[in-house]
Chain A
Amino acid sequence: MATLTPTLTLVSTDVSTDEINFSVTDSLNITKNVISPSKVKLTTSDLEIGPTTYGKSYVYLKNTDDTIAINIEVTDGNSTMQLAAGEFAFFPWTGAAGIVAYSASGTPYLEYAIFEA
């Protein structure tokens, strides 16, 4: 068993008069499969990055491209989120439906990791 510590920090001095500066962290027990931080070149065709062989997991995604967006779908065909250039996401995933990634155009690179609890 390994311990995974994800931390999110949100900072803004001017989105409101009350400055935002907070962090939230978690301590996760990772006991099963892991896709270590990986980087893959995408096209406009679907690429499954999260297979349904995974159970309860935590997913990290980052679009490393400077201009091209990356679409992420849970495999029912619904566009779940779009990672614009440089954006990241971290979320819990059940593994009940696979995760698919494809580019809005061109061949951007996606950095990703999956940690099965």
Chain B
Amino acid sequence: MATTTARVSISSPDLMPGSALSITANTALTKAGVVTGLTQMETGVRSIVTGTEYRLGPLATEMASDAHDIASYLYLCNTTTEDTTYYIDWGIHETMIGKLYAGDWMFIPWNASDDAAEIEIEPQGGTNTIEYAFFNSDFILTTAA
């Protein structure tokens, strides 16, 4: 069992007059429905060229038993330093949800309930670079040919 903790803080001195914004939240990354910590992770840095949709991370069927359902977490950051014409569309399956511009990051619990719930990303503007990490409990390595 591993103990991995994610913490987010969101602050702004000037969003609301007279009241500085300060949000903090913590969560321990655990297996579905239990307090046991996740034991596997995959991290990486990739340069991805524009005009292509990429699948990021495993399909549900590439994870063991029920491990894919609920207990996965994704951190993704667009580390490009280019202007606003460079960004990465991100979504789940065919649903585009948001755009990661230079320096933007995201962290979500990912409910990979089936193979149609895969994470998709598509860079725009040119070659973008991503930094990512998946936390899970049962990645399955692909069987050798």
Judged by a CB distance under 8 angstroms, whether B32 is at the interface is yes
Are A7 and B109 in contact, with the CB atoms below 8 A? no
Residue in B15, B16, B27, B135 whose beta carbon sits within 8 Å of that of A87 in the complex: B27
Q: Which secondary structure dominates chain A's binding surface?
A: strand
Chain B positions near chain A (C-beta within 8 angstroms): 2-16, 21, 23, 25, 27-28, 30, 32-33, 37-41, 70-71, 75, 77, 90, 92-93, 95-101, 103-111, 113, 117, 131, 133, 135
With a cutoff of 8 Å between Cβ atoms, the chain A residues found around residue B135 in the complex are: 15
With a cutoff of 8 Å between Cβ atoms, the chain B residues found around residue A96 in the complex are: 96
Are A78 and B95 in contact, with the CB atoms below 8 A? yes
Are B109 and A89 in contact, with the CB atoms below 8 A? yes
Judged by a CB distance under 8 angstroms, whether A102 is at the interface is no
Q: What CA separation (Å) do A7 and B26 show in the bound complex?
A: 12
With a cutoff of 8 Å between Cβ atoms, the chain A residues found around residue B39 in the complex are: 15
Are A78 and B92 in contact, with the CB atoms below 8 A? yes
- Decide: A82 near B111, CB < 8 A? Known: A10-B133, A92-B99, A93-B98: yes
Residue of B nearest to A69 (CB): B70
The 10 lowest CB-CB distance pairs between A and B, nearest first, are A92-B98, A12-B4, A15-B2, A91-B106, A2-B15, A88-B25, A82-B111, A89-B108, A9-B7, A93-B98
With a cutoff of 8 Å between Cβ atoms, the chain B residues found around residue A93 in the complex are: 97-98
With a cutoff of 8 Å between Cβ atoms, the chain B residues found around residue A26 in the complex are: 103-105
Are A88 and B8 in contact, with the CB atoms below 8 A? yes
Judged by a CB distance under 8 angstroms, whether A4 is at the interface is yes
